[in-house]
């Protein structure tokens, strides 16, 4: 299979690899996928409680090159965004950016799931309800 | 700087990564998939494309006679490799056709006697899919399981045989894990029960000793391009005596190959297959020793630098040129991506057309996650020790890098039992 230059770049130079303390209140962790399916992504965000801006993001991924690239890209994109802005990231944006072939679209879906799971975890920890998030999303528009 | 102490400047030899200067890249180490044509084979074939181009079935001129003589010479060479006689060799387009002809040909011919066929789960698709087709046509097929080492249980085979069993088809050596089935014992059982024994010997013929008489093999498939011969040519051995085995033809036409396989013979291909068999037979002992030494070195190097390696299939009953390893917690396709100057295969779903991990590895009882992490190394005649060193170093380097990226490896290292996690399958 031929990989796009961007996938190869993320594979060779993955951004924001690592882990943060998942017990910290300001950290949201999303662990998605399954080993038997051949891909597991863990995406973590550290959110500023005042501004709700994602100040730091880390990932580790077990999966193919496209899965690694999708999650690496996801960490780049969420950084600097508010939680509600990050929720707007769509898997199709990732597909477009990385020029993923149809057979690799599930990698982008998983990356989107990872972002949402990390944000969901952070919200749960911090008692931020869906209503508040929706309101924030509306306000951001 | 101490100018006398040049050695201090040099990195210790062991830590200097082997440069591409030692080896020519890319390195081909996927010799179960196919092999290059040996130059000696090509040389033998060349005259038969232009000068000696006759149709081996042309009986009334020298062009035909010369072609026929070449074909009969090749038949002898092939027969000799497997301990058969020349008249027992039928030429085909390759092993897929040979397997189709063997199974369908025997099934049809012996339909009156019974309708039961026994095979096993790690066969090549050319056998499995042919069996599925026969099931649709009213045959009953038993698919024997394999043990964790990839080998069938002979007791299972005994139990599966009944008075309707007409054919047992068990591969000689597996194309993914290189595991060798107990062919002699299977042949003996089949002979005792009066059942025809077919073996797909595509990976074994020319690599390890095959003797159709000593092993009681009745029908055997082999292929040119797995043994440094050309693609598009194969052969089927069909026993002519003790007992005489008959197969019904699957391709109708001019009645070539004693009516069992019509079609103008591929003379250059057949000459190439013959020459390939001759070379393989002459060099088998030394080549098997050389390859198993290289394979064992590859395995030892990987094992000395990496943890969580899982060798798939029996190491004891295995082709000398095969190593199939799972680099657990690393996904196979991502590993292939990192070693892109080395041609090997993976059992990962991501590398297969079906998006399913290898059915062979799953048959060993491996979890899908371990199957996803597997790499098949297929050493061949043209691989060198320098190449093995390069491949080992490269794989070690990339596996370490990918494990740094792997959340599973991190969790396992932290003592988390990842099998206890409720993963959301997708």
Sheet containing B322-327: give its strands across: B309-311, B322-327, B374-378, B345-346
Nearest chain A residue to B402 by CA distance is A62
pLDDT in tens, A30-69: 999 999 889 999 999 999 999 999 999 999 999 999 999 9
Nearest chain B residue to A69 by CA distance is B334
Q: How many CB atoms lie within 10 A of CB B10?
A: 8
Spell out the domains of chain B, with CATH numbers in brackets: 6-36+284-420 (3.90.1150.10), 39-279 (3.40.640.10)
Distance CA B46, CA B283 (A): 22
pLDDT in tens, B38-47: 999 999 999 9
Closest residue by Cα to residue B205 from B379, B81, B380, B103:
B81
Q: How many CB atoms lie within 10 A of CB B19?
A: 8
What is the set of active-site residues of A? 37, 107
Q: How many CB atoms lie within 10 A of CB B358?
A: 27
Predicted confidence at residue B419, as pLDDT, reads 86
Burial B365-381, CB ≥16 within 10 A → b, else e: ebbbbbbbbbbbbbbbb
- 3-state class (DSSP) for residue A41: strand
Q: Which residues pair with A82 in a beta bridge?
A: A53
- 3-state class (DSSP) for residue A88: coil
Q: Which of B406, B424, B426 sits opposite A62 (nearest CB)?
A: B406
Closest residue by Cα to residue B328 from B291, B380, B366, B359:
B366
Q: Which of B337, B367, B407 sits opposite A36 (nearest CB)?
A: B367
> Is the bond leading into B131 cis (omega within 30 degrees of zero)?
no
Q: Decide if A62 and B407 are in contact by the 8 Å CB cutoff.
A: yes
| Mean of all residue pLDDT scores within chain B | 93
Distance CA B2, CA B298 (A): 39
Nearest chain B residue to A42 by CA distance is B407
Distance CA B88, CA B242 (A): 12
Which residue is listed with tokens 């991924």? A61
3-state secondary structure A89-130: CCHHHHHHHHCCCHHHHHHHHHHHHHHHHHHHHHHHHHCCCH
Sheet containing B116-120: give its strands across: B89-92, B234-238, B219-223, B196-200, B165-169, B116-120, B140-144
**B136 burial class (0-12, 13-18, 19+ CB within 10 angstroms)?**
exposed
Phi, psi (deg, nearest 5) at residue B310? -130, 115
Q: Decide if A64 and B348 are in contact by the 8 Å CB cutoff.
A: yes
Distance CA B293, CA B16 (A): 23
| Pairing label, strands B116-120, A54-62 | unpaired
A vs B: CB pairs below 8 A: 84
- pTM comes to 0.91
Torsion sign, CA atoms B72, B73, B79, B82 = negative
Using an 8 Å Cβ cutoff, are B83 and B160 in contact? no
Tokens of A18: 């690592």
Using an 8 Å Cβ cutoff, are B340 and B397 in contact? no
pLDDT in tens, B322-363: 999 999 999 999 999 999 999 999 987 666 666 688 999 999
Tokens of B338: 């990192």
Q: Decide if A64 and B350 are in contact by the 8 Å CB cutoff.
A: yes
Residues from chain A contacting residue B404 (CB–CB below 8 Å): 17
What is the CB-side half-sphere exposure of residue B56 using CA atoms within 13 A?
25
Tokens of B253: 């036409």
Angle at B283 between CA B280 and CA B286, to 5 degrees: 135
Distance CA A9, CA A68 (A): 11
What is the residue extent of each domain of chain A? 5-140
Residues of chain B with pLDDT under 70: 1-21, 349-355, 425-426
Tokens of B15: 């830590």
Predicted confidence at residue B2, as pLDDT, reads 39
> Is the bond leading into B26 cis (omega within 30 degrees of zero)?
yes
pLDDT in tens, A96-132: 999 999 989 999 999 999 999 999 999 999 988 755 5
| C-alpha B374: how far from chain center | 17
Residues from chain A contacting residue B308 (CB–CB below 8 Å): none
Nearest chain B residue to A67 by CA distance is B334
Predicted confidence at residue B99, as pLDDT, reads 98
Using an 8 Å Cβ cutoff, are B74 and B273 in contact? yes
ipTM score for this prediction: 0.90
Helix (H) or strand (E) run with residue A42 in it: strand A39-47
Q: Decide if B372 and A35 are in contact by the 8 Å CB cutoff.
A: yes
Distance CA B180, CA B204 (A): 8
Torsion sign, CA atoms B309, B312, B314, B317 = negative
Q: What is the DSSP letter of A14?
A: -
Architecture of the domain spanning A5-140: Alpha-Beta Complex (3.90)
What is the set of active-site residues of B? 350
Q: Decide if B334 and A103 are in contact by the 8 Å CB cutoff.
A: no
């Amino acid at each position: 299979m031929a990989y796009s230059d961007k996938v190869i770049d993320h594979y060779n130079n993955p951004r924001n690899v690592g882990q943060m303390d998942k017990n910290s209140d300001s950290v949201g962790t999303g662990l998605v996928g399954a080993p038997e399916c051949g891909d597991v992504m863990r995406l973590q965000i550290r959110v500023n409680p005042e501004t709700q801006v994602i100040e730091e993001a880390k990932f580790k991924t077990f999966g193919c090159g496209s899965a690694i690239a999708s999650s690496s890209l996801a960490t780049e994109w969420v950084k600097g965004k508010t939680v509600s802005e990050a929720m707007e990231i769509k898997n199709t944006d990732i597909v477009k950016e990385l020029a993923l072939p149809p057979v690799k679209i599930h990698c982008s879906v998983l990356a989107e799931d990872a972002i949402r799971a990390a944000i969901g975890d952070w919200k749960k920890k911090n008692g931020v309800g869906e209503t508040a998030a929706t309101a924030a999303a509306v306000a951001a528009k | 700087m101490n100018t006398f102490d040049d050695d201090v400047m040099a990195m210790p030899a062991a830590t200097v990564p082997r440069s591409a200067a030692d080896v020519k890249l890319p390195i081909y180490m996927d010799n179960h998939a196919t092999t290059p044509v040996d130059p000696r084979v090509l040389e033998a074939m060349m005259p038969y494309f232009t000068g000696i181009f006759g149709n081996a079935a042309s009986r009334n001129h020298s062009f035909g006679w010369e072609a026929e003589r070449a074909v009969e010479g090749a038949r002898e060479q092939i027969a000799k490799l497997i301990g058969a006689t020349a008249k027992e060799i039928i030429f085909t387009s390759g092993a897929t056709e040979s397997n189709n002809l063997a199974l369908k040909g025997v099934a049809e011919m012996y339909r009156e006697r019974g309708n039961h066929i026994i095979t096993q789960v790690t066969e090549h698709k050319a056998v499995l899919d042919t069996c599925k087709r026969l099931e649709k046509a009213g045959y009953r097929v038993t698919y024997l399981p394999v043990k964790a080492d990839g080998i069938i249980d002979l007791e299972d085979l005994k139990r599966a045989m009944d008075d309707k069993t007409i054919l047992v088809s068990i591969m000689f050596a597996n194309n993914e894990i290189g595991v060798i089935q107990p062919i002699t014992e299977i042949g003996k059982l089949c002979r005792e029960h009066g059942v025809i024994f077919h073996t797909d010997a595509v990976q074994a013929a020319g690599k390890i000793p095959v003797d159709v008489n000593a092993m009681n093999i009745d029908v055997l498939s082999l292929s040119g391009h797995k043994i440094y011969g050309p693609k598009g040519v194969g052969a089927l051995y069909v026993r002519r005596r003790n007992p005489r085995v008959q197969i019904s033809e699957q391709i109708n036409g001019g009645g070539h190959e004693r009516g069992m396989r019509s079609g103008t013979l591929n003379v250059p291909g057949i000459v190439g297959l013959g020459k390939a068999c001759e070379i393989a037979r002459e060099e088998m002992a030394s080549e098997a020793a050389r390859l198993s030494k290289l394979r064992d070195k590859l395995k030892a190097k990987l094992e000395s630098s990496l943890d969580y390696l899982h060798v798939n299939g029996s190491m004891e009953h295995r082709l000398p040129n095969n190593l199939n390893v799972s680099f657990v917690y690393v996904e196979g396709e991502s590993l292939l991506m990192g070693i892109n100057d080395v041609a090997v295969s993976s059992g990962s779903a991501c590398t297969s057309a079906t998006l399913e991990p290898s059915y062979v590895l799953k048959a060993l009882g491996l979890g899908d996650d371990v199957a996803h992490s597997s790499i098949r190394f297929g050493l061949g005649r043209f691989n060198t020790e320098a190449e093995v060193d390069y491949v080992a170093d490269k794989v070690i380097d990339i596996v370490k890098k990918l494990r740094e990226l792997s959340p599973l490896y991190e969790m396992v290292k932290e003592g988390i039992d990842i099998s206890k996690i409720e993963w959301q399958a997708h």
